[in-house]
Amino acid sequence: MSKKQALTEFHRGSILAAAERLFAEKGTEKTTMDDIAREAEYSKATLYVYFQSKEEIINAILLSGMLLLKKKICEAIEGHSSWLEAYDAVCLSIVRFYNENPTAYDAATGALTPAARGEEAPKGVADILRVGQEIDGVLAAFLERGSQEGMVCAQMPAMETVLLFWAGLAGMVRAAYYRSGYIQDTVGLDRETFLQHGSRLLLRAMTQPDVQP
Amino acid sequence: MSKKQALTEFHRGSILAAAERLFAEKGTEKTTMDDIAREAEYSKATLYVYFQSKEEIINAILLSGMLLLKKKICEAIEGHSSWLEAYDAVCLSIVRFYNENPTAYDAATGALTPAARGEEAPKGVADILRVGQEIDGVLAAFLERGSQEGMVCAQMPAMETVLLFWAGLAGMVRAAYYRSGYIQDTVGLDRETFLQHGSRLLLRAMTQPDVQP
Amino acid sequence: MSKKQALTEFHRGSILAAAERLFAEKGTEKTTMDDIAREAEYSKATLYVYFQSKEEIINAILLSGMLLLKKKICEAIEGHSSWLEAYDAVCLSIVRFYNENPTAYDAATGALTPAARGEEAPKGVADILRVGQEIDGVLAAFLERGSQEGMVCAQMPAMETVLLFWAGLAGMVRAAYYRSGYIQDTVGLDRETFLQHGSRLLLRAMTQPDVQP
Amino acid sequence: MSKKQALTEFHRGSILAAAERLFAEKGTEKTTMDDIAREAEYSKATLYVYFQSKEEIINAILLSGMLLLKKKICEAIEGHSSWLEAYDAVCLSIVRFYNENPTAYDAATGALTPAARGEEAPKGVADILRVGQEIDGVLAAFLERGSQEGMVCAQMPAMETVLLFWAGLAGMVRAAYYRSGYIQDTVGLDRETFLQHGSRLLLRAMTQPDVQP
DNA sequence: CATGAATGAGCGTTCATTCAT
DNA sequence: GATGAATGAACGCTCATTCAT
């Protein structure tokens, strides 16, 4: 990569970092381009040198978040020989990731897709969706491995289980983020412990066939 | 309640009904006060006679949504003698409720609280949180009944399980809403079926003790 | 017309008057909505209460200018029994009109049409074109009357002659406006006299058949 | 001219050629300095090495357009022994010139001068006006030759007739450009034919004394 | 000299809110 | 009490211009 490209990447990164901070704090809609410019210490016009629009910034954050998440999940799976340990590590990496990336995670669970449907595929959305599918695929394969090792009940189709697991854990992470005070007051658990329990709860859901009435 | 108060309540209700329709259709951010005034057939200024701000309208809808949800959950519990049937009915009422109230439900899961913390407790937020706690209480009692009937593993504290169940189901509902197209393409399920499976998945999570490595 | 409608018309008129002044002075492109708001002594937002966009303001000015011009031309024709006197009056009314309406006249000669072709018929453009055609029709009929009275050579098709006459006079008016200083210096004529001569020049062009080489 | 000066002229010429292409295509207002830089294959900053501002570029193009027009007119006059043929050739060269130079011609008729008067004479305007005067002189001499040859009525002062002819033809060219569709629909003539007829119309205006009532 | 990078000032438009009637 | 009218404050975005290298 040339020096120029590196510098461009540096500025794009600074802007994205600033935007990410603000998005996490106030959400994408309430964060203005002026806010981002101020936080990143560029002029607003400079933002448009590095990104074509606010939407491109949002999508770039989403994409980088998704890519990082995928990497962490793969590392978690590959880094543990025991399936159960790997499962805990996967959940932990998702949870930790969300602590640093609330907005990106939000998107990972699909919150952006409807906006994206506005007309056609707005620049960058295709990549985001593709990475999301790749993560789904990685998790599905992981689940099937668990099934072969007898840790996971084989009766449910892997992909559907992944989607439900993913959505359920996302909901818990979201709750742990938005309602940490309430959770602390009610059940006396910090965010991390609460989410460990949640991960285990979801694991139990996958270890046995359906309930018989 | 005096005649005057009753009239005031009537107007507030009309406005909220209109706002609710629009919020469900376009979301709170994309719904303008002009939209609400037109839909409710009041002048925009009149909205400010009955509500101090747009945020108060949003919070009032949240509150009414929470109250309705609580009512439906109680009915579902009281309307079935079999715990398992009652469980399915509870999940179904939550799911159906969300189909008509995406925004309110979003809030019910806590998405509004951080914005609320901005300064102090903005008018109406306290009520919302209180109803949320009441629902948590109802569900915790229901879970304990399930525990006594042998349907639910007794080892986990009821309140924590409620919080996790609630958050997990919320995540699934959210995913089913935002990603229905992707879910249909990937696993070939419509929203309702997907969420039935999700409810059962969460139920299984609650019927057995923790996984032993 | 109700009181409310009258008031609305009054405000629209004030805004249009201000815009017309500024357009004449700086052109439509260099006149901003802020300029118009300041000149009309409204807030910028109020402009958008009475007009949907800047383009609607431009088009409204064009239309009113065209309508007024048509009225003046008709009055000039009907107010004189002698064709020659009527001809002079028509030219004079065009010339005078332009002194007060440089922008509208510019448009009358078609300068707006290409912008209008952008996509489809932008609101109000159809009316403008229609009035333009009506004026062409009025002038064509007037020319044919001149032909019957022997004042105008009958050999050329009336409509084409109208178009050429109109375009030629427009060019002279334009020049008289933009280059009045130069004209004064070079030939020692004020604007009005210069344009009288121009009108007569064009008249002569219409009184005899084509030149034979 | 030194080598350095020649190089400077070369770069100025390249920039002007690029700008001219774009101005003809999109107009001066909608052409950005970025567009010009891209088209000329210089960096935008380099444009400011050779021109002080966008306006100077516009004026320089105007000037070169005027110079070219003058050259073409002189050639047309000198290239035909018959006055009538020369007249047709002059009109044709003006018309053709405009097809390739709509913007420059617009300016040639004076559209720029009032903007120029804003403060003082902005750089380059004086040259433009001077060339305009030279063209006027050439045409006046040509008219006097026509008068001596009996083709043009001698009664009118040559300079004034030139100004009126020029302004009238400019108006027709302008109309033929902006309203070619309407003209085609109404009288079924293409641009070139319409303007031929216009030229002849103006010629007839110059061949006889004033109309007698 | 040539330029990549940066930006100030501005654009048309929107919308929650206010206030005289 | 109800409202029509008005608006301040933003918004996302553009572009002619500058300047360190």
Model confidence pLDDT, tens digit, residues C50-73: 999 999 999 898 888 889 889 999
Please give the distance of CA D196 from its chain centroid, rounded to a whole number: 17
Most confident of A146-150, B82-86, C154-158: B82-86
The contacts of residue B203 (CB under 8 Å, 6+ apart) are A205, A211, B87
- C161 CB within 8 Å of a chain D CB: yes
Residue type, B53: S
Euclidean distance between CA atoms A73 and C146, whole angstroms:
90
| Distance in Å from the first CA to the final CA of chain B | 62
Residue C12 has pLDDT above 90, yes or no: yes
The number of C-alpha atoms within 13 Å of A209 and in the hemisphere containing its C-beta is 4
Residue A117 has pLDDT above 50, yes or no: no
Answer yes or no: do D9 and D84 share one domain. no
Euclidean distance between CA atoms D147 and A87, whole angstroms:
102
Residue B119 has pLDDT above 50, yes or no: no
Answer yes or no: do D144 and D175 share one domain. yes
Q: Quick one: pLDDT at residue D24? A: 83
Q: Quick one: pLDDT at residue D34? A: 95
Confidence of residue D202 (pLDDT cuts 50, 70, 90): very high
Q: With 0-12 CB in 10 A as exposed, 13-18 as middle and 19+ as buried, what is B3?
A: exposed
Nearest nucleotide to the CA of B56, by C1', is: E16
Residue D126 has pLDDT above 90, yes or no: no
pLDDT digits 0-9 by tens, D152-165: 887 788 899 999 99
Residue B83 has pLDDT above 90, yes or no: yes
Question: Do chain B and D touch: 3 or more Cβ pairs under 8 angstroms?
Answer: no
**For strand F, which residues in window 32-71 of chain D come within 7 Å by CB?**
32-34, 44-45, 47-48, 53-55
Residue B183 lies in a domain: yes
Answer yes or no: do D78 and D37 share one domain. no
Residue D197 has pLDDT above 90, yes or no: yes
pTM for the whole structure: 0.85
Residue B117 has pLDDT above 50, yes or no: no
Residue D200 has pLDDT above 80, yes or no: yes
- Among C72, C95, C91, smallest CA distance to C174 is for C95
Question: Do chain C and D touch: 3 or more Cβ pairs under 8 angstroms?
Answer: yes
Residues of B in contact with A174 (CB under 8 A): 109-111, 167, 170-171
Residues of B in contact with A85 (CB under 8 A): 213
Answer yes or no: do B17 and B94 share one domain. no
Residue A128 has pLDDT above 60, yes or no: yes
Question: Do chain C and A touch: 3 or more Cβ pairs under 8 angstroms?
Answer: no
Q: Do A194 and B164 touch (CB under 8 A)?
A: yes
Q: Quick one: pLDDT at residue A209? A: 64
Q: Quick one: pLDDT at residue C106? A: 58
- D17 CB within 8 Å of a chain C CB: no
Residue D212 lies in a domain: no
Residue A5 has pLDDT above 60, yes or no: yes
Q: Do B175 and A170 touch (CB under 8 A)?
A: yes
- Among A124, A10, A142, smallest CA distance to A66 is for A124
Of chain D, the percentage scoring pLDDT greater than 70 comes to 86
**Nearest-CB residue to A204 (from B113, B170, B210):** B210
Euclidean distance between CA atoms B120 and A124, whole angstroms:
39
Nearest nucleotide to the CA of A10, by C1', is: E5
For the domain that residue B121 is a member of, what is the CATH number?
1.10.357.10
Answer yes or no: do B87 and B187 share one domain. yes
Residue B56 lies in a domain: no
Structure tokens, D207: 């061949």
pLDDT digits 0-9 by tens, B37-51: 999 999 999 999 999
**For strand F, which residues in window 4-43 of chain C come within 7 Å by CB?**
4, 7-8, 11, 42-43
Answer yes or no: do D39 and D68 share one domain. no
Instruction: Name the domain count of chain B.
Output: 2
Residues D24-50 have a mean pLDDT of: 92
Q: Is A105:A132 a contact under the CB 8 Å cutoff?
A: no
Q: Quick one: pLDDT at residue D105? A: 54
Answer yes or no: do B36 and B135 share one domain. no
The contacts of residue B190 (CB under 8 Å, 6+ apart) are B180, B184
pLDDT digits 0-9 by tens, C26-51: 888 889 999 999 999 999 999 999 99
- B84 CB within 8 Å of a chain A CB: yes
Residues of C in contact with D213 (CB under 8 A): 82, 84-85
Residue C212 lies in a domain: no
Residue A182 lies in a domain: yes
Euclidean distance between CA atoms C128 and B107, whole angstroms:
51
D126-D130-D136 Cα angle (round to 5) = 145
Euclidean distance between CA atoms D125 and A80, whole angstroms:
78
Q: Is C27:D111 a contact under the CB 8 Å cutoff?
A: no
Answer yes or no: do B105 and B6 share one domain. no
Euclidean distance between CA atoms A103 and A25, whole angstroms:
9
The residue ranking higher by pLDDT, B11 or D119, is: B11
Q: Is D91:D169 a contact under the CB 8 Å cutoff?
A: yes
Of chain B, the percentage scoring pLDDT greater than 90 comes to 50
Q: Could you give the dihedral angle defined by the CA atoms of residues C116, C117, C120 and C122, in that order, rounded to the nearest 10 degrees?
A: 0
Residue B120 lies in a domain: yes
Q: Is D73:D93 a contact under the CB 8 Å cutoff?
A: yes
Residue D56 lies in a domain: no
Range of the domain at D94: 62-206
Residue B107 has pLDDT above 70, yes or no: no
Answer yes or no: do C26 and C5 share one domain. yes
- Our CA-based measurement puts residue D2 at a distance from the nearest CA of chain C, in whole angstroms, of 37
Chain mean pLDDT for chain C: 85
Residues C72-93 have a mean pLDDT of: 94
- SS3 call for A116: helix
Full DSSP string of B15-43: HHHHHHHHHHHH-TTT--HHHHHHHHTS-
Residue A211 lies in a domain: no
Chain mean pLDDT for chain A: 85
pLDDT digits 0-9 by tens, D73-114: 999 999 999 999 999 999 998 888 777 776 655 555 444 444
**Nearest-CB residue to C172 (from D171, D176, D203):** D171
Q: Quick one: pLDDT at residue D122? A: 60
Q: Quick one: pLDDT at residue C3? A: 74
Q: With 0-12 CB in 10 A as exposed, 13-18 as middle and 19+ as buried, what is A5?
A: exposed
Answer yes or no: do D114 and D167 share one domain. yes
Q: Is A139:A193 a contact under the CB 8 Å cutoff?
A: no
Binding-face residues of C in 25-54 toward D, CB within 8 A: 29
Residue A174 has pLDDT above 60, yes or no: yes
Q: With 0-12 CB in 10 A as exposed, 13-18 as middle and 19+ as buried, what is D42?
A: middle
Q: Quick one: pLDDT at residue B155? A: 80
Helix axes A180-187, B125-148, angle to 10 degrees: 40
Answer yes or no: do A117 and A192 share one domain. yes
Confidence of residue C175 (pLDDT cuts 50, 70, 90): confident
Answer yes or no: do A98 and A199 share one domain. yes
Nucleotide E19: nearest residue by CA–C1'? B45
Q: Do B164 and A198 touch (CB under 8 A)?
A: yes
For the domain that residue D39 is a member of, what is the CATH number?
1.10.10.60
Q: Which of C51, C70, C90 is the last residue before a domain boundary?
A: C51
The residue ranking higher by pLDDT, C116 or A159, is: A159
